[in-house]
A = this chain, B = another copy of it.
Amino acid sequence: MSKLRFRISMSLDGYVAGPGQTVKEPLGIGGERLHEWVFPLEAWRRPHGMKGGVVNESTPVMADELANIGATIMGRNMFGGGPGPWNEADPWMGWWGRNPPFHHPVFVLTHHVREPLAMEGGTRFTFVTDGIESALAQARHAAGGQDVALAGGARAAQQYLKAGLVDEMQIHLAPILLGGGERLFEDAGALQDLALVKTVHAPDVTHLKFVRT
């Protein structure tokens, strides 16, 4: 059975983005500190087209996270381009350039209809306007038997968590305080049978893996 696997970086005070998110600061003020643990890793640099990098305790966690993923779901805010209807004259293409690092179908939750967007390297963005269950069904179909990644952000994750649809959750806990922004576990209900099964201590991050019991 294809699983829905959610992974996200969160600060010790529970934020997955800093305050004041804008087009220029998509992660909000200080939000890039959530991800400082990942940028030096060889396991992150390689799929982003860069050579070299560090191998440490986070490396097998990243390998596990990337393995057997056939499609990704994300919220509109994570895809970016601001809220509201899409600008047809100057369409937003995502944060990731011409060749995004997904290399598989990506389903974007939005209230605004838009034609699918095919990028280089196998990434194809499909915009889903009929809710989280439809996006999950479409992503599962597109994944062809592989699992589906839920990439965030906070509101998309809250909806899937509350609906009890998440099979696996990997929290990359950054030992920092952001003091404001988007909180992951705000009105998220219960953990819905997700149990902590593994903790990994790595430089600048603690990885907490939860699975459905």
Q: Which A residues are within 8 Å of any B CB, using their own CB?
A: 12-14, 171, 173, 175-177, 179, 184-191, 195-196, 198-201, 206, 208, 210
Q: Are B175 and A196 in contact (CB under 8 A)?
A: yes
Integer count of this chain's copies in the complex: 2
Q: Are A199 and B206 in contact (CB under 8 A)?
A: yes
* Complex alpha-carbon distance, A206 and B198, angstroms: 9
Residue from the set A188, A191, A196, A206 with the largest chain B CB neighbour count within 10 Å: A196
* Complex alpha-carbon distance, A208 and B198, angstroms: 14
Chain B neighbourhood of A12, CB < 8 A: 171, 185, 191, 208
Chain B neighbourhood of A175, CB < 8 A: 191, 195-196, 208, 210
Q: Are A191 and B206 in contact (CB under 8 A)?
A: no
A-B contact pairs, 14 of them (CB 8 A): A12-B185, A13-B186, A14-B185, A175-B191, A175-B195, A177-B185, A177-B188, A177-B190, A179-B189, A198-B201, A199-B200, A199-B201, A199-B206, A206-B208
Q: Which residue in chain B gives the minimum CB-CB distance to A186?
A: B13
* Complex alpha-carbon distance, A23 and B208, angstroms: 34
Q: Which residue in chain B gives the minimum CB-CB distance to A196?
A: B175
Chain B neighbourhood of A176, CB < 8 A: 191
Instruction: Known pairs A177-B185, A177-B189, A199-B206; list 8 more (Cβ under 8 Å).
Output: A12-B171, A12-B191, A13-B184, A13-B186, A14-B185, A175-B191, A179-B188, A199-B201
